[in-house]
Structure 1
């Protein structure tokens, strides 16, 4: 049996397609792709950690495979387009200078804000899953989900603009929501009704804030919707209609990291010419990256580090 899930690969493809549509063609709802990426990450990484928590090499296997998957292309981007304050980028704490000097949203390396959140998430989640009993793990995860809107409101009030969107606590309803979905599929849920009621609280908070205070953000609504989408994808058979999305889904990392860099090269051509020229080039580069860098390193990491125990969603193959 393949260790990958075609439906979840297709969801990755949908997510990266939405992000590129946002940056290349100004698609208004393209940032939902980032929300979907975060929920998928929580679901897949949470599932891997839950399945391997009792196995030897729990930490070394997880961090070894993550390092081979993430760092090579990340370092390559920093070499090609070295950002200001690049030393912070090496440790995934680029938000520190951003809070002081502003968010460089038009730099090609700004896309690494999601990687910074992911890496910080990777430092927290393995410890929670390893050390906490099941009952307390569920409580902590739900606490993160329920407090995420509060963090966003506080960041919006006391920190520079957009901080609520680019810092880890404001994304916990998406990341921890994905982990809770992985827990649900492994039988950790005692009361489905209670979980559904809890899941509705953050979206209701966002809607209430928008009605009573003013327009702000609906990340909890997006998180809830993306959790439903990921749950549907995890329970889907082979997705015939989604098959065109599987290719970009398996190459989404390079597509995400380099799509703005390639777009900037042709920016002077103007819309929509720059986007139409950049799009096939970034697809070609992603294919080269997959064949020459990513797939060989993923294969080496699989051989080098112990595999997680097989489980309900282990076929997702988030290497």
Structure 2
């Protein structure tokens, strides 16, 4: 779900900034790619708002926005593409530097763990309210181990609603854990081919597993959600390896986004390949934001500044806590149920406002303070 540094989530919130250093002449940040890409923050804002609205889509029944709200779940796919691009960019630039693993994992832990642990503490403090269960039922050793190791998305036991967003966080954490050493050892001629082959394999295998309806996988299993994060990683690898001009990358972004949207709206719609089509479209959109960074047009300004960029900044905290906020203020919802569509829209507005306030307090009072510790894990 990071604060802008070329590096996700539901769910990585360090979006948009890349280290100033480069690696070997064969794999390095191109001269046209700035160290800070503020437009990606706006994309994060769209992603988190899409997820929040999706979790409120019943409230939009009977309005012109209902069917659009049903697509809000795709915000998670956009998070995956962003995370793949940003994390792979960070790893590529850092793999020849000292303290590679210490710096990467420490910075990821500072970004992800504090809010995650805080959420668990809050939910377990009143389990019958926030978990919908008794504490004794939620302290089984398998459940606790799953939360501790970010494996909850692999279990067939449904997650409590307030902890539902952590399934995508678990996928990203698993990916970080395995992808960092692979990038580290994949250098030279071997790495030039190994990384793209591995990523292309994931892009192909994930939809095929979804198509096979493997009975031993649950809907949040990692193996069926890797095409988005793999495409984002492929994008980073391509930008750092291929000496295309910015204009060429922009055209590739246009083609990818149009092709992805067209496939999602036609052949891939309602099939196991819908997520792949969306991943292709989002990869194109991310590439357009990257290639067009700094442009002086209204669309670029919308992504760089204003509400979308702000929601991108607080996106991790909002993504992780919005359902908890909805549950906490559930009693207010009941008072407006009798008002029909008007009452539903008021409830939706209140939920978004309160979730925004909560995420803002979380960012300024908690997250941003902890993130200052990242300075101790930077390559000199």
Q: Please say whether Structure 1 and Structure 2 have the same fold, judged by a TM-score greater than 0.5.
A: yes
Instruction: Decide which of 66, 72, 78 is 1:30's aligned counterpart.
Output: 72
Matching of residue 13 in structure 1 with residue 41 in structure 2: no
Indicate the residue corresponding to 1:93 in structure 2: 151
Indicate the residue corresponding to 1:144 in structure 2: 202
Indicate the residue corresponding to 1:54 in structure 2: 96
* Residues 273 and 86 of structure 1: CA distance in aligned 2, closer, same or farther (over 3 Å): farther
CA offsets, 1:163-220, max 9 Å, x none?
2x41212122101100100011112489x9xx9999989x97997687xxx7456100
- What is the deviation of 1:289? 1.3
- What is the deviation of 1:277? 2.1
- What is the deviation of 1:278? 2.2
CA RMSD of superposed structures (Å): 3.0
- What is the deviation of 1:6? 1.3
Structure 2: distance between partners of 1:144 and 1:135: 15
CA contact (8 A) 2:268 2:277 kept: no
Between structures 1 and 2, the one with greater helix share: 1
CA contact (8 A) 1:65 1:305 kept: yes
CA contact (8 A) 1:12 1:248 kept: yes
Structure 1: distance between partners of 2:40 and 2:362: 21
Structure 2: distance between partners of 1:189 and 1:139: 19
Structure 2: distance between partners of 1:277 and 1:247: 18
Matching of residue 228 in structure 1 with residue 284 in structure 2: yes
TM-score where L is the length of structure 2: 0.70
CA contact (8 A) 2:52 2:322 kept: yes
Matching of residue 287 in structure 1 with residue 360 in structure 2: yes
* Residues 259 and 125 of structure 1: CA distance in aligned 2, closer, same or farther (over 3 Å): same
Structure 2: distance between partners of 1:294 and 1:205: 36
* Residues 208 and 114 of structure 1: CA distance in aligned 2, closer, same or farther (over 3 Å): same
* Residues 135 and 251 of structure 1: CA distance in aligned 2, closer, same or farther (over 3 Å): same
Q: After alignment, is 106-115 or 177-186 more displaced?
A: 106-115
Structure 1: distance between partners of 2:181 and 2:265: 30
* Structure-to-structure mapping, 1:251-266, within 5 angstroms: 251-266=314-329
Indicate the residue corresponding to 1:317 in structure 2: none
Give 1 or 2 for the bigger CA radius of gyration. Answer: 2
Structure 2: distance between partners of 1:264 and 1:189: 50
* Residues 204 and 252 of structure 1: CA distance in aligned 2, closer, same or farther (over 3 Å): closer
- What is the deviation of 1:226? 0.6
Structure 2: distance between partners of 1:38 and 1:48: 15
Q: After alignment, is 143-152 or 59-68 more displaced?
A: 143-152
Structure 1: distance between partners of 2:322 and 2:273: 26
- What is the deviation of 1:14? 0.7
Instruction: Decide which of 299, 309, 316 is 1:246's aligned counterpart.
Output: 309
- What is the deviation of 1:307? 4.1
CA contact (8 A) 2:40 2:290 kept: yes
- What is the deviation of 1:40? 0.1
CA contact (8 A) 1:40 1:230 kept: yes
Structure 1: distance between partners of 2:78 and 2:228: 8
Matching of residue 158 in structure 1 with residue 215 in structure 2: yes
Matching of residue 186 in structure 1 with residue 237 in structure 2: no
For the residue of structure 1 that corresponds to 2:72, the secondary structure is: coil
CA contact (8 A) 1:262 1:281 kept: yes
Matching of residue 305 in structure 1 with residue 362 in structure 2: no
* Residues 158 and 207 of structure 1: CA distance in aligned 2, closer, same or farther (over 3 Å): farther
Structure 2: distance between partners of 1:189 and 1:117: 31
Gaps in structure 1 of 5+ consecutive residues: 309-319
Gaps in structure 2 of 5+ consecutive residues: 1-15, 18-35, 59-68, 125-130, 132-137, 295-299, 338-343
For the residue of structure 2 that corresponds to 1:48, the secondary structure is: helix
